[in-house]
Structure 1
Amino acid sequence: MYAIVETGGKQYRVEEGAKITVEKLTADAGAEVALEKVLLVGEAAGLKVGAPYVSGAKVTCEVVEHMRGPKIVVFHKWRRNDSHKKTGHRQDLTTLKIKSIQA
């Protein structure tokens, strides 16, 4: 069984036992989180597609850790002005382990 969930403005395909990295969630490490925005659930019997979400579906996850992503360099150069701006960015991320999918 698999599901497609939405969190942090992005969509992820998840299966039981898998680990995914998502935008930072406000839960402590070791806590249990329920993702309610389930767009699709795939089973042996077929697909359940939501409009936009599948009613009554829920994906239960465990927060494994909080971390920061790789550094992204943002470089702006203005031509003919002999000027530029260089900044960096590291995104806060959360790693989740999928425990169960209820449809």
Structure 2
Amino acid sequence: MVYAVVRAGGRQEKVEVGTVVVLDRIKASEDGTIQLTPVLLVDGDTVTTDAKKLAKVTVTAEVLGDLRGPKVVIQKFKNKTGYKKRQGFRADLTRVKITGIK
């Protein structure tokens, strides 16, 4: 079983070939593929964490599409002062499918 832990969008995700992952918005090249940076590689019983060996490893992914996350409502309220503030936020996301770990 081969899997990798990759760094993407300020987080780390465990991925295998064929896994579909939702990441923070990433710009893809014109052919729709991206490269992800591996932090850890597990190949059977072998665990690789050395930065020099991981520099040779490439994790490629195909962009399936862009989407937006759920709306988060931010409300602030202070009692007895008349202060109320309401704000919303939706994250820009990208859905990718892992195509190869080499």
TM over 0.5: yes
Cα separation, 2, equivalents of 1:53 and 1:10: 21
What amino acid is the match of 1:59?
A: V
State which drifts further: 91-100 or 78-87. 78-87
Q: What is the CA-CA distance between 1:53 and the residue it aligns to?
A: 8.1
Kindly state the Cα deviation for residue 68 of structure 1 after the two structures are TM-superposed.
0.3
User: Residue 49 of structure 1 aligns with which residue?
Assistant: 49
Unaligned runs of 5+ in 2: none
d(CA) in 2 for partners of 1:70 and 1:58?
31
Question: Is the CA contact 1:67–1:93 (under 8 Å) kept in the aligned structure 2?
Answer: yes
Query: Structure 2: how far apart are the matches of 1:83 and 1:53?
Result: 55
2:73 partner amino acid: V
Following TM superposition, where does structure 1 have runs of at least 4 consecutive aligned residues deviating by more than 4 angstroms?
A: none
What is the match of residue 26 of structure 1? 27
User: Relative to structure 1, is the Cα distance of residues 49 and 87 closer, same or farther in structure 2, using a 3 angstrom cutoff?
Assistant: same
5+ residue gaps in structure 1? Answer: none
Identity of aligned residues (%): 31
Partner of 1:8: 9
Residues 70-93 of structure 1, C-alpha deviations (whole Å, 9 max, x = no match): 000111112331211111100000
3-state secondary structure, aligned to 1:76 = strand
Does the aligned pair in 2 maintain the 1:40–1:53 contact within 8 Å? Answer: no
State the Cα distance separating 1:30 from its structure 2 match.
6.2
TM-score, with normalisation over the residues of structure 1?
A: 0.88
Deviation, structure 1 residue 61: 0.3
Give me the whole-angstrom Cα distance separating, in 2, the residues matched to 1:45 and 1:74. 46
Calculate the aligned-residue CA RMSD, in Å.
Answer: 2.0
CA distance in 2, matches of 1:88, 1:29: 32
Contact 1:5 1:11 in 2 (8 A): yes
